[in-house]
Structure 1
Amino acid sequence: MPLDDLQALLRAGLPDDALVTDPDVAASYAHDMAGFCAAGTPAAVVLPRTVEQVQHVMRTATALRVPVVPQGARTGLSGAANATDGCIVVSLTRMDRILDISPVDRVAVVEPGVVNAVLSRAVAEHGLFYPPDPSSWETCTIGGNIGTASGGLCCVKYGVTAEYVIGLDVVLADGRLLRTGRRTAKGVAGYDLTRLFVGSEGSLGIVVRAVLALKPAPPVQLALAAEFPSTAAACAAVCAIMERGHAPSLLELMDRTTLRAVNAMARMGLPETTEALLLAAFDTPDPAADLAALGAVCTEFGATEVVPADDPAESELLLKARRLSLTALEAVKSATMIDDVCVPRSKLAAMIDGTAAIAEKHDLTIGVCAHAGDGNTHPVVCFDAADADESRRARESFDEIMALGLELGGTITGEHGVGVLKKEWLARELGPVGLEMQRGVKAAFDPLGILNPGKLF
């Protein structure tokens, strides 16, 4: 169908400001923040404000067999929000209302364009807490978090997005509206379709409303930093902390490469001679006592220095380094590839040391920051995008890191998703039977294959 005809049919059911057809403006919606991921040219961009407008887009797309790519804030790191040639991009950022916050039911009902930090602050006014906190929480949206099953710094204690999404409204490929889940505290009626959509990267339907579970707001957390002479020592401490029943609200690790990058960017005076810095925090009634106990474990396993914070302000200063890790590594070279390999906690040291060996083999800078408490590592490959040989080595190192993760019994993605970047690796992780079943699910929800084609598999 000619482009003008497609745009005219879309315009028939949309307000004027909801449809973007200018090629230059539409091109700005072509990709997320991932490198090495192909992106096409959208035929149109739709910015709906209502469920009915999303339904109109999907009915039009189904009638014309036009692909549709749902998007949030495009902060993703796997290419899952990248456009395909001739597609309709549906950007959900204008569907940004918090519809309900119930302290009694401990739920929030939101549209997909609500920014994570906005929701967190809104529920805090009711004495409540929405735990998932991706590093991009100030800009990323709840819809995007649901699409990629996002995690964050506090996952070690509170879990990931999937554990807080209890109900969804989803516009299906043919424009029908599906309601899944509940807003009750319990519910086991039928298959758990809600969980199926979490992490599906917009390939099964477009989320237009979510019911999210909330928790009572915890006490303000206190943090500590522990310096280690080796990553093996730091990871041994992590294993002991978890094995002995400690329940930190945060347990993060930064390697020496990352520490140096943060110092270079922010002049924070971090200890560049240490091989690993472990950051821990507690949001318990007596965080100082819990920190002291955890600090003793760190000392037992070889920490050369343990520095507990005395107050929340000092704690935030300690944690600032971790929050700056990705930005600092991105400043090392003109481009980065951010991996997201999660391994069993018992294999964390092997994963980090193996990544260092891969960096040395390919003569590259690869910094690792990790959600140490749940084994989720983020190796960041830094390279010069204008250097063809260095770009090749970066891609090879990326693949070797993922292969290492699978070899250690891990997964290719803990929280960033598959998108375009890891399609071939998803097939290796799932195996032929698993891949066949996943494709069968996709065909049941999207028989024409128009929802986010080319992603996942």
Structure 2
Amino acid sequence: MDVLTELIRSLPAGVVVTDATATEKYRYDWSRDASAGTPLAVVRAEDASQVQATVRWAAAHRVPVVPRGAGSGLSGGSSAVDGGIVLSLERMRAIEVDADCQVAVVEPGAYNAEVKAAAAEHGLWYPPDPSSFEICSIGGNVATNAGGLCCVKYGVTTDYVLGLDVVLADGTLVTLGGKRIKDVAGLSLTKLFVGSEGTLGVVTRAILRLVPAQGARSTLVAYFPTAVAAAQAVVAVRSRMRPSMMELMDRWSINCIEDYKPMGLDRDAGALLIAQSDAPGTSRGEEVALMEQACSAAGASEVFVTDDAEEGEMFVAARRAHFHATESRGALLLEDVGVPVPLLPDLLARVAEIAARHRVEIPVVAHAGDGNTHPIVVYPPGDVAAEQRARAAFDEVMAAAIALGGTITGEHGVGRAKKHALPDQLGPDVMALTRKIKDALDPDGIMNPGAVL
């Protein structure tokens, strides 16, 4: 009996998929990583015991394991490995809300949007809010420590993870944390696995903190002559308050969206800023007034405020459409760089300079309130010279962020797309420490090899 037959027989019928046509869709995430391999098989696990069985088999035979959620990642973190197993968690979708403890107990395949909906039935809210919240999974969110539009005020995934069940590289299932708000017993191992991108283990359950439902919001929309001017307004606002949302789109992004799905945005504007306040009572009006003042002082050509939820959501929907809008323009290299908020204008200026020098289009959207930007390098597919320029620009954008004391990834993860730049940010000592942790938990290197390190 060959080793794969052993795995197939150890799991229920239909869990292991080997047909080439069926496994093809599991080779890539949304980054369309050109280096993605061809897996030996895909395991679509239905529960934690099947995850354990798969990992134990892989450990026994030294077969690589690539954990996979919904496949919506943007850095090649779940790209398949030649001769490996793609371990899909898509069938593990259970959600249980404990309203008294204000937590959700969630399996990794559940979508972010499904957790939000389940929490809302109890008057609660799960704040982490990636632009892809409707199609991204909690397992993937935990793996990359995902953020999103609301994180400027409400934080990122790690701020809401109270506990995890994790299958380690030898198949051992460990339970970390729990429903407790405060717990400092032992090392903070729960947080070690958040953002580890499947390189240390496989998350099979998460206990997520919920908060009371978000209140009424006021939305501010401001147009600026340049992206740098919009960023200067962001800096001024953030030095005095923390809005519940603060998103920026540059001129290229505005026009990408209007070409893709006309929404009435001003194509001639240098940048668009969308900000919200959900402060209670009269404080909301005070926060909006402060933001209006900051935008006007930074040179905004138009400032518009609405308390109408549907009208405000129209602008937010335009922002969320950005990825699909740029995807329709050509091949993409997906950036996720961030800097301290006061240096956001400098980063945007450098990105614009890099785009001009390399003669490539780099539309930029940003979770501006926390300094996290998404410059997306676009080039015509099949144009070798354009791709070379695009890849050079991609690397220079990361270098610019590092030079400003920033990061190569704020929320998408390192994956395979950015791992060559990680040593430049972390330095040799931190890289060595990271490898020691990886080697201690995965001595045979079977967990998502090729990602991050």
Q: Which bracket does the TM-score occupy, shorter chain normalised?
A: over 0.9
Deviation at 1:271, TM superposition (A): 1.4
Question: Is the contact made by 1:354 and 1:404 (CA closer than 8 Å) also made in structure 2?
Answer: yes
Tell me the equivalent position of 1:379.
375
Counterpart-to-counterpart distance in 2, 1:25 and 1:347: 46
SS of the aligned residue for 2:343 comes to helix
SS of the aligned residue for 1:253 comes to strand
Deviation at 1:182, TM superposition (A): 2.2
SS of the aligned residue for 1:168 comes to strand
Tell me the equivalent position of 1:120.
116
1:296-375 superposed matches below 5 A:
296-332=293-329, 334-375=330-371
Counterpart-to-counterpart distance in 1, 2:275 and 2:364: 17
- In the alignment, residue 5 of structure 1 is paired with which amino acid? D
Q: Which range moves more in the overlay, 89-98 or 305-314?
A: 305-314
SS of the aligned residue for 2:10 comes to coil
1:415 and 2:411 are equivalent in the alignment: yes
Deviation at 1:35, TM superposition (A): 4.1
Tell me the equivalent position of 1:47.
44
Deviation at 1:404, TM superposition (A): 0.5
SS of the aligned residue for 2:191 comes to helix
1:235 and 2:231 are equivalent in the alignment: yes
Tell me the equivalent position of 2:397.
401
1:14-25 superposed matches below 5 A:
14-25=11-22
- In the alignment, residue 280 of structure 2 is paired with which amino acid? P
Q: Identify which of 127, 130, 136 aligns with 1:131.
A: 127
Tell me the equivalent position of 1:454.
450
Deviation at 1:260, TM superposition (A): 1.1
Tell me the equivalent position of 2:249.
254
1:167-178 superposed matches below 5 A:
167-178=163-174
Q: Identify which of 440, 445, 448 aligns with 2:441.
A: 445
Tell me the equivalent position of 1:390.
386
Question: Is the contact made by 1:149 and 1:199 (CA closer than 8 Å) also made in structure 2?
Answer: yes
Tell me the equivalent position of 2:160.
164
Q: Identify which of 264, 271, 282 aligns with 1:269.
A: 264
Counterpart-to-counterpart distance in 2, 1:91 and 1:417: 18
The percent identity for this pair of structures is 49
Q: Which runs of 5+ in 2 are unaligned?
A: none
SS of the aligned residue for 1:211 comes to strand
1:417-436 superposed matches below 5 A:
417-436=413-432
1:147-158 superposed matches below 5 A:
147-158=143-154
Counterpart-to-counterpart distance in 2, 1:384 and 1:304: 34
Q: Which range moves more in the overlay, 347-356 or 263-272?
A: 263-272
1:75-86 superposed matches below 5 A:
75-86=72-83
Tell me the equivalent position of 1:60.
57
Counterpart-to-counterpart distance in 2, 1:274 and 1:25: 45
Root mean square deviation, CA, Å: 1.2
- In the alignment, residue 362 of structure 2 is paired with which amino acid? I
Tell me the equivalent position of 2:86.
89
- In the alignment, residue 309 of structure 1 is paired with which amino acid? T
- In the alignment, residue 185 of structure 1 is paired with which amino acid? I
Q: TM-score, normalised by structure 2?
A: 0.97
Cα deviation 1:157-210 (Å, max 9, x = unaligned): 000001111110001111111111121110001111111000101010000011
1:142 and 2:132 are equivalent in the alignment: no
SS of the aligned residue for 1:366 comes to coil
Q: Which range moves more in the overlay, 281-290 or 51-60?
A: 281-290
Deviation at 1:320, TM superposition (A): 1.8
Q: TM-score, normalised by structure 1?
A: 0.97
Counterpart-to-counterpart distance in 2, 1:35 and 1:51: 29
Cα deviation 1:256-302 (Å, max 9, x = unaligned): 11111111121222112221111101122243443233212211222
Deviation at 1:27, TM superposition (A): 2.1
SS of the aligned residue for 2:332 comes to strand
Question: Is the contact made by 2:226 and 2:250 (CA closer than 8 Å) also made in structure 1?
Answer: no
Distance change >3 Å, CA 36–CA 43, structure 1 → 2: closer
Q: Which runs of 5+ in 1 are unaligned?
A: none
Q: Identify which of 60, 64, 69 aligns with 2:66.
A: 69
Counterpart-to-counterpart distance in 1, 2:16 and 2:99: 37
- In the alignment, residue 9 of structure 1 is paired with which amino acid? E
Counterpart-to-counterpart distance in 1, 2:30 and 2:384: 21
Counterpart-to-counterpart distance in 1, 2:156 and 2:201: 21
Deviation at 1:239, TM superposition (A): 1.1
Question: Is the contact made by 1:66 and 1:86 (CA closer than 8 Å) also made in structure 2?
Answer: yes
Question: Is the contact made by 1:37 and 1:420 (CA closer than 8 Å) also made in structure 2?
Answer: no
Counterpart-to-counterpart distance in 2, 1:146 and 1:208: 11
Counterpart-to-counterpart distance in 2, 1:159 and 1:400: 28
Counterpart-to-counterpart distance in 1, 2:273 and 2:328: 22
Q: How many residues align?
A: 451
Question: Is the contact made by 2:67 and 2:78 (CA closer than 8 Å) also made in structure 1?
Answer: yes
Question: Is the contact made by 2:237 and 2:290 (CA closer than 8 Å) also made in structure 1?
Answer: no
Counterpart-to-counterpart distance in 2, 1:224 and 1:95: 39
Deviation at 1:36, TM superposition (A): 4.7
Structure 1 ranges of 4+ moved more than 6 A: none
Counterpart-to-counterpart distance in 2, 1:167 and 1:444: 21
